[in-house]
Structure 1
């Protein structure tokens, strides 16, 4: 997330492998800890507006209850029924995440990983099926907005009057309500803002909601399937919407100030609550019915996608999973690769696997014709062709 140039403010952090850390990372082995300690040093850099959330890793897993398998696919809760209702596939959600400050002076990203919603919310909560919830929030102009939305967005969804009969309406309503609640929180800086991308899963149904330029990418047997659209001001549909509402785009920035067309917060750029304005908090939704071919989901802030294609990220994660089957190590490798490619932003990545097993090897049928393209190259070509259809 980038804003037009502004003043930087200043604290002290601890450098840890191209990033900053304030938490112990339990997943690193002894060798990695020793190396980190040797490379640790202190420098003075810019002061973040409030809560600083820097390099964090989380990994957890929860096997969905097998007794829910028979009814989770056909239950009615405002989502589409699967085309192949007889499928016996039931995802097992396990996730890993990594966040680093990168080359910026302070950290403004936030994220959330919940592999078992029922366990997280308590048995008294009514859910349409066993599920999970994930999100990434790319803050700008301070960390207040990203932190507030991370803490509250799930509650706004669950407590919405449309939930659970119409989950799509509940999510759209929750984003707007969270945006309004943020400006009402007088102790916070309402001029800070954040993009928001969430993934809500019930049984085989996955709903991606996106407002901003974070991105969700599905790994489908080695192929990258983009499940969200980057809301940049120059995007044709966003540009038309912005201009229709009286906004302008200057040098790629909305009203010359913001590099995204949708965000929560940024109330210095919005009118009264409930009014239409060029900067929208309403998310776009994408529903997907998971199948055995869907292996994992990658969600990340634009610090990753600025330097890496969706197909490249999927190829990296799949190869890593085949080596160690650990989604946290996968997210860490994506962050490190983005740093090697000189990203200019904070980095936050979440990898969600849908099976307890690593991805199987992709067997390319033998042909009497000599093939001069690798399996990865073939998947990339398929993705390009399908995206242009």
Structure 2
């Protein structure tokens, strides 16, 4: 597996005037694939456009992000139905900054950590199967050796429609994100977003301490 990322420092410049972005904004994301990179590329290219084109944006950003995840998931499922060779999956974490507001959306086991006054503040929750056992079992799924239905190490992700029993209807793997909102303050220094491979090596505190020492 290899992760992909997106860096958009200026939303208005990136999207153009038709996007009707009325405030300063930025967008960042990390996408970690499994079973091929097609899903990663699709979500990386499409998710932001679905967010800003949603009827709820920018009045209710959380709602727009929720809708966009599900719409992106369904769009890729449709693409896979036309070309089975595209079948694959990806986790995703995105950070949308609009003026002083920060919206972190996570589906999977990537993670975002904010450095505020030198302290590490976790801005997302890892969606490991054991964390969502109740929801998984209520939908007829199971956890075997830490894996969802004995196959995936995450409880939320995009796509994977090719894996029998995981997606579609009331199946246990979902693309719905958890969205967290925060208001930026002067003491916010930086944010780190990374895939599970990064966080397997670094604790939140050590990940923050390393760049902070070099930035001082």
TM range (shorter): over 0.9
Pairing partner for 1:233 from 102, 126, 129: 129
Q: Distance in 2 between matches of 1:153 and 1:188?
A: 21
1:286-330: per-residue Cα shift (whole Å, max 9, x none)? 0000101111010000110011101100000101212xxxxxxxx
Q: Distance in 1 between matches of 2:25 and 2:34?
A: 30
Match of 2:193 in 1: 299
Match of 1:288 in 2: 182
Q: Confirm or deny that 1:261 pairs with 2:163.
A: no
Q: Secondary structure of 2:134's match?
A: helix
1:232-265: per-residue Cα shift (whole Å, max 9, x none)? 0112xx1111011110000000000000000001
Residue 210 of structure 1 contacts residue 228 of structure 1 at CA under 8 Å; is this kept in 2? yes
Match of 1:381 in 2: none
1:207-229: per-residue Cα shift (whole Å, max 9, x none)? 00000000000001211000000
Q: Secondary structure of 1:182's match?
A: helix
More strand by share: 2
Task: Give the unaligned 5+ runs of structure 2.
Answer: none
Q: Distance in 1 between matches of 2:142 and 2:35?
A: 20
Q: Distance in 2 between matches of 1:187 and 1:112?
A: 25
Residue 183 of structure 1 contacts residue 190 of structure 1 at CA under 8 Å; is this kept in 2? no
Pairing partner for 2:173 from 259, 268, 279: 279
Q: Confirm or deny that 1:184 pairs with 2:102.
A: no
Pairing partner for 1:138 from 11, 32, 53: 32
Match of 1:205 in 2: 101
Q: Distance in 1 between matches of 2:86 and 2:185?
A: 41
Instruction: For 1:47-62, list aligned pairs within 5 A.
Output: none
Q: Distance in 2 between matches of 1:123 and 1:231?
A: 36
Q: Distance in 2 between matches of 1:158 and 1:204?
A: 17
**Alpha-carbon deviation of 1:183?**
1.3
Instruction: For 1:1-389, list aligned pairs within 5 A.
Output: 108-185=2-79, 186-187=82-83, 189-235=85-131, 238-269=132-163, 270-272=166-168, 275-322=169-216
Relative to the length of structure 1, the TM-score reads: 0.53
Residue 216 of structure 1 contacts residue 228 of structure 1 at CA under 8 Å; is this kept in 2? yes
Pairwise CA RMSD of aligned residues? Answer: 1.3
Relative to the length of structure 2, the TM-score reads: 0.94
Residue 137 of structure 1 contacts residue 150 of structure 1 at CA under 8 Å; is this kept in 2? yes
**Alpha-carbon deviation of 1:159?**
1.1
> Does the C-alpha gap of structure 1 residues 318 and 167 become closer, same or farther in structure 2, counting only changes over 3 Å?
same
Residue 24 of structure 2 contacts residue 99 of structure 2 at CA under 8 Å; is this kept in 1? yes
State the structure with more CA Rg. Answer: 1
Q: Distance in 2 between matches of 1:189 and 1:231?
A: 27
Residue 206 of structure 1 contacts residue 289 of structure 1 at CA under 8 Å; is this kept in 2? yes
Residue 167 of structure 2 contacts residue 174 of structure 2 at CA under 8 Å; is this kept in 1? no
**Alpha-carbon deviation of 1:280?**
0.8
Q: Distance in 2 between matches of 1:217 and 1:146?
A: 22
Task: Give the unaligned 5+ runs of structure 1.
Answer: 1-106, 323-389
> Does the C-alpha gap of structure 1 residues 170 and 115 become closer, same or farther in structure 2, counting only changes over 3 Å?
same
Q: Distance in 2 between matches of 1:188 and 1:124?
A: 34
> Does the C-alpha gap of structure 1 residues 271 and 194 become closer, same or farther in structure 2, counting only changes over 3 Å?
closer
Q: Secondary structure of 2:174's match?
A: coil
